[in-house]
Amino acid sequence: MIRICLSLLLIIFLTSDSIKLRVVVKNVQVGKGSVFVAVYNDEKNFLKKAFVEKELASSNSQLECFFDLSKGEYAVVVYQDINDNKKLDLGLFSIPKEPTGFSNNFHPRFSKPQFKDASIELKEPSDTSIIELK
């Protein structure tokens, strides 16, 4: 019975569409607050409700984290919460006061980014998104 269960688990694992997304965050201000990494899986929820997210300590100028996702289209958003108030502080015209970054290294100039600007297609067993905070 145990062999059958283990065999089934192995089959499920080997046939899984799981993709490990590696997110590399550069230009982190070391020792200042936390870094939040959010992954969005559709345009409707983009910048509203993350599909998955992680909080990282700002312990190094370059950080990385991993997400297990299915094949598909995603957008990654990163910000460093310098003052550690658990939110992205915005200034005049909703311009971020804290460092932010998006997948595709997209950096908006005059408006909020759209899902399509930052979207990446995950299709390889291990994909990487490198994001520089600005």
Q: How high is the pLDDT of residue 3?
A: 52
**Is residue 2, in this structure, part of any structural domain at all?**
no
Assess contact for 53 and 38: CB atoms under 8 A. Answer: yes
**Assigned domain for 91 exists:** yes
Domain with 46 in it: 17-132
Mean pLDDT estimate for the chain: 89
Classify residue 5: in a domain, yes or no: no
Assigned domain for 11 exists = no
Cβ(21)–Cβ(40) below 8 Å: no
Does a structural domain hold residue 55? yes
Taking alpha carbons only, the member of 84, 123, 85, 121 closest to residue 104 is 121
Q: How many domains are there within the chain? A: 1
Over its length of 134 residues, how does the chain's per-residue pLDDT go in tens digits? 555 544 444 444 444 578 999 999 999 999 999 999 999 999 999 999 999 999 999 999 999 999 999 999 999 999 999 999 999 999 988 899 999 999 999 988 888 899 999 999 998 888 888 989 99
In a domain, 76, yes or no: yes
CATH of the domain at 54: 2.60.40
Tell me if 92 is assigned to some domain.
yes
Reference 116, options 74, 62, 87; nearest CA is 74
**Is residue 9 assigned to a domain?**
no
**What pLDDT score was predicted for residue 73?**
96
